[in-house]
Amino acid sequence: MINNLFNQLIITITPFLPRWIVWKIAGRYVAGETGAKALAVVRQLNDKGYSATVDILGEHTNSKSEAAEITREYMNIYDEISKQKLDCNISIKPSHIGQDISNEILQTNLDKLLLKAEETNNFLRIDMENSTITDNTISLYKNCRRKYKHVGTVFQAYLYRTQADLEQLSQNGSFNFRLCKGIYKEPAAIAIQRRRKINNNFLKLLRFAFEKGIYVGIATHDLGLLKSAYTLISELNVSTDKFEFQVLYGVPMSGWLEKHLKNNFKVRVYIPFGVDWHAYSIRRLKENPNIAGYILKDLFRR
């Protein structure tokens, strides 16, 4: 009871704490402010047997020059991944590279990234944001995939439409997507609201992917879902080259990452970095206030 009250207090006060304290808490979730620091973390994870994907923190860019600069930074990261021979790809948010400015600017920046991904023999993941741009993101993905096959996107289990979206895409053969629950606040008319029902739909979509031979990144920290995913993999005798498990950098997984590796399952760690770490960290801490609680208690003791 006391711990729960303390955690609720942490959720309330964390956004108002000095940035240096938030960084003390959030450093476990963010790989620093620069690409060099993020790739150093990638190297450490690769050495332990994990794959990685990197993401520059930020979204809803409204400046053409800023969107172009973010695109250049991603291109430089592709070059460094290739140069350092890292097991790592890139995840981008459409709104970060021009979605809110114009479709022309967005597509121009995406084309640059696709060309660099092809040049460095790498993969590009187009992240899914809120439901207002789901149609546009799917259209964007289809257009990109016609130009370069090593590109994937993301689908959210809490949206009612996701089953139909997967069925439609699967008509043109196999593809690559990340399956997650979804983090945006969406209305009940279009999104499942209850955790149990979201989990049930997650497993329904995962079964669909397995049965259709679609490559899926199983992105969840829900231990119950992981157990159910293991059951599905065993039941359907799914080949290990048809899926991977994906987790956010720094989120405690109670030994499951090591368990995945022992089963020869690929594990990819999503590594965010960048100067816009503060807002991201606040979201992560609200999801897991225990982490903030432990560190704040330690600071107060000191």
Question: Alpha carbon of 161 to those of 20, 27, 199, 214, 268: distances in Å?
Answer: 41, 36, 15, 18, 26
**DSSP of the chain, one letter per residue?**
-HHHHHHHHHHHHGGGS-HHHHHHHHTTT---SSHHHHHHHHHHHHHTT-EEEEEE-------HHHHHHHHHHHHHHHHHHHHHT-SEEEEE-GGGTTTTT-HHHHHHHHHHHHHHHHHTT--EEE----GGGHHHHHHHHHHHHHH-SSEEEEEETTBTTHHHHHHHHHTT---EEEEE---S---TTTB--SHHHHHHHHHHHHHHHHHHT-EEEEE---HHHHHHHHHHHHHHT--GGGEEEEEETT---TTHHHHHHHTT--EEEEEEESTTHHHHHHHHHHH-HHHHHHHHHHHHH-
Active-site option among 127, 165, 268, 284: 127
Average pLDDT for 236-242: 98
| Active-site residue flag, 127 | yes
pLDDT at 27: 73
pTM to 2 decimal places:
0.89
Active-site option among 125, 145, 178, 284: 178
pLDDT at 276: 79
pLDDT of 16 higher than 50: yes
- CATH for 33-273 is 3.20.20.220
Q: In the structure encoding, which two tokens stand for residue 59, read together?
A: 């979204």
pLDDT one-digit tens code per residue, 143-199: 999 999 999 999 999 999 999 999 999 998 889 999 999 988 899 999 999 999 999
Which residues, 6 or more positions from 28, have their beta carbon under 8 angstroms from its beta carbon?
A: 249, 250, 291
Which residues, 6 or more positions from 301, have their beta carbon under 8 angstroms from its beta carbon?
A: none
Average pLDDT for 70-90: 98
Rg (CA), the chain: 19
Domain positions in the chain are 1-30+276-302, 33-273
pLDDT band at 32 (very low <50, low <70, confident <90, very high): confident
**Rounded CA gap, 14 and 24, in Å?**
12
pLDDT of 265 higher than 80: yes
Handedness of CA 64, 102, 181, 125 (dihedral sign): negative
